[in-house]
C-alpha cells in the first residue's frame, strides 16, 4: 500500500499552532513512509472563506518547510458532492429534516435537563408526504441528515488504540444545509475516497465524527482509511490552548515574535512524546524519528517560553550562510560573517542581531553607568589601546597592558570594560566584539 495523507485547512482564519502540529505530523508520517501528501483547501463555506487566507495558509506551510505532492479545493468539486448526495438520498441514507435552529436548540436543552445526550430523535422520519409539503409551503427548506446504522463501529486508532462506538448512541449528522450546500462530514469522506487517502490525522475532538464517517465510507462503497487522533494541546498552565489561539497563529510567532520555523517544528514534532525535545535546524531528523507509537494519549502542554528557549538554541548553531539572505531582507546586509559568529550565541531571535550591530556601530556612551572609580579605570585602560592593525589580535595586545598598568584582574577588570563598551552586564565575548568596533569608537566610549 502506498501511503497517502491529507491536510485540510479551512481558509476562514490564520493557521495556529494546533493546525501546524496536525499538518506537521501528517507530513512527517507521509515522508517517513515514502508516501504522498495532499493539501486540500476546505472552502465550501463561501460566506466565510477568503482567498487571501488561502495565500496565507500557503505562506505559513512554506515557512514550516512543508511541501505537497497534490493540491485540491473543495469549491472545485461541488458537482461530485451533489452526485453523492443524490445517490445517498435515493438509497435512503439521507433524509430531510425541517426543524429550525431554535427548535433544535430547545430539543438539546430539554435533553440536557433530563441528563440525556444530545441525540436527534429522528422525528423527521415520522413526517408524511403531506407534512413535508405543508412545511415547504410555509417556506421551510430541509436540511439533510445521514442515517446511521445502530451497529457497533470499531477501528484501531494509531494513537488511541482500539476504539468502539455504538451507532445507536450517536446523533445522525447534518450533511447538507437548507441552502443545499454540502457540509464538512460528507465532503471530507468523499474527498478521502476519491483521493485514495490511506491515513487521516486529526485532533481527538473528532473521534465521534470519525465513527459517523466510517459508516459514510461504507455507504459510499469505500473502505475507511486508518485514523490517528492526536491529543489537543494545552497551554503551559494546562488550560485548553483553543482559548488563546489568536495570539498563537503562525503569523504572530513569525512576524511579531520573530521566531524560527525550525524551533516550532522541533517542538511540535516531539511534544507529547517520549522523545527528547531538541533543536533541529531541518526536518530530516524529524522525519527519520517519526512514529505514531511515540505519541502519548496525555494532553501535551505548549509552553511559549520553551519555544523561545529552543529558538535561541537553534540560532546559536546556525551558520552565517543560512541567515545572510534574511539579514539582507531586513536591511542588515552590511553585517559581516565575523559579527554573526561573535553574537549568535547571545541571540534569542534573529532580530536581536540588529540590536547588537547598532550597539557596536552607533555613537553612544555608557560611562554614566559606571562608578567614579570605574570611570577612572576605563579611562586609564583607553590610554593603553594598541595601534593598528585593529584586528582579532587587539584583545591579546591590550588586556595584558591594562592589567600591568592598573593591577586589576577578573571581574574588577572585565565588568567595567564591558559596561563602558556595550552598556550591558553580559553579552558576546568582548575579545571578538572589540575587533569589530572601530578604534576611535572604542576610545570615545572609554574616555567619555
Residue 377 CA to chain centroid, in angstroms?
A: 51
Mapped onto helix, strand or coil, the DSSP state of residue 436 is coil
Residue 251 CA to chain centroid, in angstroms?
A: 9
Residue 382 grid cell = 583607553
- pTM for the model stands at 0.90
pLDDT, position 245: 64
If phi over 0 gives left and psi between -120 and 50 gives alpha, with beta otherwise, what is residue 186?
alpha
Place of cell 500557503: 58
**Using one digit for the tens of pLDDT, what is the confidence trace for 56-85?**
999 999 999 999 999 999 999 999 999 999
Q: Which residue in 285, 283, 355, 352 sits closest to 323, CA to CA?
A: 352
- Cα distances (Å, whole numbers) of residue 291 to 228, 262, 281, 384: 11, 19, 20, 61
Number of H helices, E strands in the chain: 19, 12
If phi over 0 gives left and psi between -120 and 50 gives alpha, with beta otherwise, what is residue 371?
beta
pLDDT, position 243: 58
CATH topology (fold) of 367-447: Arc Repressor Mutant, subunit A (1.10.10)
CB count, 10 Å around CB of 400? 11
pLDDT, position 421: 94
Q: Using the 8-state DSSP alphabet, how is residue 276 labeled?
A: P
Query: Which residues contact residue 355 at a Cβ distance below 8 angstroms, ignoring those fewer than 6 apart?
Result: none
pLDDT under 50: residue ranges of the chain? none
d(CA 206, CA 48): 21
Q: Using the 8-state DSSP alphabet, how is residue 172 labeled?
A: P
CATH topology (fold) of 91-176: 3.90.800
**Using one digit for the tens of pLDDT, what is the confidence trace for 113-167?**
999 999 999 999 999 999 999 999 999 999 999 999 999 999 999 999 999 999 9
Mapped onto helix, strand or coil, the DSSP state of residue 124 is helix
Cβ(187)–Cβ(44) below 8 Å? yes
pLDDT, position 331: 83
- Burial of 259 (C-beta count, 10 Å sphere; 0-12/13-18/19+): buried
d(CA 75, CA 409): 73
d(CA 189, CA 128): 30
pLDDT, position 333: 82
pLDDT, position 330: 83
Cβ(263)–Cβ(306) below 8 Å? no
**What are the extents of the domains in the chain?**
91-176, 323-361, 367-447
pLDDT, position 244: 60
Residue 297 grid cell = 494519549
Dihedral (CA of 22, 298, 185, 49) sign: negative
pLDDT, position 367: 87
- Cα distances (Å, whole numbers) of residue 108 to 63, 103, 115, 143, 174: 43, 9, 10, 17, 15
Amino acid at each position: 500500500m502506498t501511503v497517502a495523507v491529507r491536510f485540510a485547512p479551512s481558509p476562514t482564519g490564520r493557521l495556529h499552532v494546533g493546525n501546524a502540529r496536525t499538518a506537521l505530523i501528517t507530513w512527517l508520517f507521509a515522508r517517513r513512509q515514502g508516501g504522498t501528501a495532499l493539501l486540500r483547501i476546505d472552502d465550501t463555506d463561501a460566506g466565510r472563506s477568503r482567498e487571501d487566507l488561502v495565500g496565507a495558509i500557503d505562506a505559513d506551510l512554506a515557512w514550516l518547510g512543508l511541501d505537497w505532492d497534490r493540491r485540491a479545493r473543495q469549491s472545485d468539486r461541488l458537482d461530485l458532492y451533489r452526485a453523492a448526495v443524490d445517490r445517498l438520498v435515493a438509497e435512503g441514507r439521507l433524509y430531510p429534516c425541517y426543524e429550525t435552529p431554535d427548535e433544535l436548540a430547545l430539543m438539546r436543552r430539554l435533553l440536557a435537563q433530563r441528563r440525556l445526550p444530545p441525540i436527534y430523535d429522528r422525528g423527521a422520519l415520522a413526517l408524511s408526504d403531506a407534512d413535508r409539503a405543508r412545511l415547504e409551503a410555509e417556506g421551510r427548506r430541509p436540511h439533510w441528515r445521514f442515517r446511521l446504522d445502530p451497529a457497533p463501529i470499531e477501528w484501531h486508532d494509531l494513537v488511541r488504540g482500539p476504539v468502539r462506538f455504538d451507532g445507536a448512541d450517536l446523533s445522525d449528522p447534518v450533511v447538507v444545509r437548507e441552502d443545499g450546500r454540502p457540509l464538512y462530514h460528507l465532503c471530507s469522506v468523499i474527498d478521502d475516497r476519491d483521493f485514495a487517502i490511506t491515513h487521516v490525522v486529526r485532533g481527538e475532538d473528532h473521534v465521534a465524527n470519525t465513527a459517523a464517517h466510517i459508516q459514510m465510507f461504507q455507504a459510499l462503497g469505500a473502505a475507511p482509511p486508518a485514523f490517528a487522533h492526536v491529543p489537543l494541546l494545552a497551554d503551559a498552565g494546562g488550560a485548553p490552548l483553543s482559548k488563546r489561539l489568536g495570539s498563537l497563529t503562525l503569523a504572530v510567532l513569525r512576524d511579531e515574535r520573530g521566531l524560527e520555523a525550525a524551533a516550532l517544528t522541533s517542538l511540535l514534532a516531539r511534544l507529547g512524546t517520549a522523545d527528547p525535545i531538541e533543536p533541529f535546524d531541518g526536518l530530516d531528523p524529524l522525519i527519520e524519528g517519526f512514529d505514531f507509537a511515540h505519541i502519548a494519549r496525555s494532553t501535551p502542554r505548549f509552553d511559549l517560553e520553551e519555544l523561545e528557549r529552543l529558538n535561541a538554541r537553534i540560532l546559536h548553531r546556525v551558520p552565517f550562510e543560512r541567515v545572510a539572505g534574511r539579514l539582507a531582507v531586513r536591511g542588515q546586509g552590511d553585517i559581516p560573517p565575523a559579527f554573526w559568529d561573535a553574537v549568535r550565541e547571545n541571540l534569542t531571535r534573529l532580530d536581536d542581531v540588529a540590536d547588537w550591530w547598532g550597539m557596536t556601530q552607533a555613537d553612544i556612551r555608557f560611562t554614566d553607568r559606571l562608578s567614579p572609580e570605574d570611570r577612572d579605570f576605563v579611562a586609564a585602560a583607553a590610554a593603553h589601546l594598541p595601534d593598528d592593525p585593529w584586528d582579532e589580535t587587539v584583545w591579546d595586545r591590550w588586556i595584558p597592558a591594562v592589567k600591568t598598568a592598573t593591577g586589576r584582574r577578573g571581574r574588577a577588570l572585565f565588568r567595567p570594560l564591558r559596561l563602558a563598551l556595550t552598556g550591558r552586564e553580559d553579552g558576546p565575548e568582548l575579545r571578538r566584539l572589540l575587533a569589530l568596533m572601530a578604534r576611535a569608537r572604542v576610545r570615545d566610549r572609554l574616555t567619555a
